[in-house]
Amino acid sequence: MAGSDPQPKKATPPRPAINAPRKPLQVMHISRKAEEEMINKESSKDEILDQYKDKRFDEEVLEKNTSSLKAPNQKKIIQVNHGDNFQPSTMEDVLKSENKSDYKVIESFDDKNIFEQKNRTVDEFDFDEDEFLAALEENQPIGTTGEIAKGSVIAVESDGIYVDIGGKAPGFMPKNECGLGVITNLKERFPKGLQVEVLVTREQNADGMVTISCRALELRKSWDKVQKIAKEGKVIRVKINGFNRGGVTCDFEGLRGFIPRSQLEDGENHQSLVSKTINAAFLEVNPERRKLVLSEKKAAIASRFSELEIGQLIEGEILTIKPYGFFVDLKGVSGLLHHSMVTNGSMRSLREVFQSGEAIKALITDLDPSRGRIGLNTALLEGPPGELITDKAKVMEEAEERAIKARNSLNKEKVDPPKEEKLST
């Protein structure tokens, strides 16, 4: 148009020179094999999750359909058309035309009942507390850390297995958590459908999946078993599988145990014990710190205690004399002969009866294997009170015969407690 400003011309970009050097093409090197493995691994996990979610969805739909069948039947209005022409009518028209020949009403709503139902409160409806609590338990999240769960194997992969434990998603068990030992073939060890008991080691992630472990559960059971054996003071057999500067190592119930050199019978040549089986007793059992310390010497003492019983006559040697009594060597263990158990007579000094290094015969009246204590008694071997002071040789010679009589009296006291104890009970 005349008078209008001419449009500005667009700037043309400079053309590249004809002989300008071209930049080399940049090539990205991609390992097709590594990429395919990653894609296959991710797709397998996604397929397992999708299958599990579809299965859960089908179960929920089935439960809703079955619950709808149980719902109370509502009253319906069934009309029978006797005429050729049908005209729409309201509820009021239907109620008024009950006697007409065109329509026949089989059932009708009761206005009074409808009004009453609308005005009912929540408390008037039936409420089952047991069903309510059961529904809450079903909807609780499954997979708290430290919880023991049961389920069935649904898939086996190269890096672990998937177990249905009843949650929103299956639990995943890494390969190194499938057991205490080395598992070479997961499919043979965990076939599909196998029922397993596992321990939850990590709670649900964003997809609802929890991490589980068979190994952690077996270790927990092993610690419980070891604590029970240690409390009973039993002696166990262990095989030495290694050594270091401080002692030797062994395995028991899947747990790593340690025996210090000071607790070995031959601590100087402890390396020679490798591959040998020895007796051992527990010194320390600490599951929190995963510390298991054993002792061969304590096992020897415990074995000796198993050979002793209350009322038994033993022979020993006086080791030391203390103000409160004598310590007697009983072939590997020591017993205490308290000054109140030496004689029924009056003595001025303990050395008046026995000397250090002297042989002695005494009755066992107290045994405490957990504390390693043995109580002895020589007063029960006396005839008249103080006979050990006046004629010790005769008491020691007739100790076997006198021990039988003393043992009978001890057994009788166990069966028939004193009258004072009976009255107190």
End-to-end CA separation in angstroms for the chain: 128
Residues contacting 128, CB < 8 A, separation 6+: none
pLDDT for residue 46: 72
pLDDT for residue 116: 55
Going from the C-alpha of 14 to that of each of 7, 8, 11, 18, 22, the distances in angstroms are 21, 18, 9, 12, 16
Euclidean distance between CA atoms 313 and 381, whole angstroms: 10
Exposed (0-12), middle (13-18) or buried (19+): which is 408, by Cβ within 10 Å? exposed
pLDDT for residue 75: 41
Please name the helix (run of DSSP H) or strand (run of DSSP E) that holds residue 216, with its range, or none: helix 214-232
Give yes or no for a contact between 275 and 287, defined as CB atoms under 8 angstroms apart.
no
Tens of pLDDT, residue by residue over 55-99, are 776 676 666 666 554 444 444 444 444 444 445 555 555 555 554
Three-class SS of residue 155?
Answer: strand
Tens of pLDDT, residue by residue over 322-348, are 999 999 988 878 899 999 999 988 888
pLDDT for residue 422: 42
Q: What are the structure tokens assigned to 17, written together?
A: 């020179």
pLDDT for residue 36: 67
pLDDT for residue 141: 57
Euclidean distance between CA atoms 248 and 277, whole angstroms: 12
Please name the helix (run of DSSP H) or strand (run of DSSP E) that holds residue 382, with its range, or none: none
| pLDDT tens sequence for the chain (425 residues) | 444 455 555 555 556 555 555 655 555 555 566 666 666 667 777 777 777 777 776 676 666 666 554 444 444 444 444 444 445 555 555 555 554 444 444 444 455 555 555 555 555 445 567 776 666 555 555 667 888 889 999 999 988 999 998 877 789 999 889 888 778 888 888 999 999 999 998 888 877 788 999 989 999 999 999 999 988 878 899 999 999 999 999 999 889 999 999 999 888 889 999 999 999 999 999 999 999 999 998 888 888 888 888 888 999 999 999 999 999 988 878 899 999 999 988 888 888 889 999 999 999 988 887 777 899 999 999 888 988 888 889 999 988 888 888 887 776 665 555 544 444 43
Q: Across-strand partners of 151?
A: 196
pLDDT for residue 310: 87
pLDDT for residue 412: 66
User: With a threshold of 0.75, does the pTM exceed it?
Assistant: no
Q: Tell me the domains of the chain and their CATH numbers.
A: 148-216 (2.40.50.140), 233-300 (2.40.50.140), 308-415 (2.40.50.140)
Going from the C-alpha of 4 to that of each of 1, 7, 8, 9, 201, the distances in angstroms are 6, 9, 12, 15, 81
Q: Across-strand partners of 335?
A: 328
